[in-house]
Amino acid sequence: MPDLSFGAYRRLHSAGQREVFRAAMEARGYYAFFAFTEDFRESLKTYSDSEMEEIGSLIGRVRSDFPKPGRFSPSWEMLWEEFQAIYDAKNETLAEISASDRSGEWQVLIDNPYMPQQVACYPGLAFLDAAYLFAYFQKDLKPNEFLRLQKVTHVHVKTGLKEATLFPDL
């Protein structure tokens, strides 16, 4: 069985190698493709400026090699469009925030001030994780919602006392 990981796909150079990979993936089906797309998603989360061009090229290549990901699962019908939207939005963030300003803790907030829902906050993130989430949530942002990417400069954390819990011995 050939290696059907995203890492193996990244190392393919010829059209012939990619055709063999595509055929093997189609033969293995849903679970192999699921693992492949999750590895690809992880690359979208972790890439930085130096890999930007390669990731963009891989999105184009995978669209060509697997033009109908919905064949593996109907929920993936628009998968490459989702990946492209995340890629484009993350690149905007990478361009707007210089590498020297990326250290430290980041958080992403989603809020709709006209709805009674709670504010969603994703705290304690490294910059690349925060940039990915910021890009990920942009694709489904509703008209009255806003999305914030924030660098945390000061944190004061307090936790409750163990003795004050219902089960202090656990």
Residue-wise pLDDT for 126-149, tens only, equals 999 999 999 999 998 988 999 999
Return the bridge partners of 110, or none.
120, 147
**Both structure tokens of 103:** 């250290």
Closest CA to 107 of 90, 135, 76, 131: 131
Does position 170 have pLDDT exceeding 70, yes or no?
no
For 52-73, what is the mean pLDDT? 97
Say yes or no to pLDDT of 49 above 70.
yes
Average pLDDT over the chain reads 93
The answer to whether residues 73 and 112 touch, using CB atoms and an 8 Å cutoff, is no
For residue 81, give every residue at least 6 positions away whose Cβ sits within 8 Å of its Cβ, in sequence order, or none: none
Per-residue confidence at 81, pLDDT binned at 50, 70, 90?
very high
Q: Quick one: what percent of the chain has pLDDT higher than 90?
A: 81
pLDDT above 70: residue 1? no
Residue 113 pLDDT > 90, yes or no? no
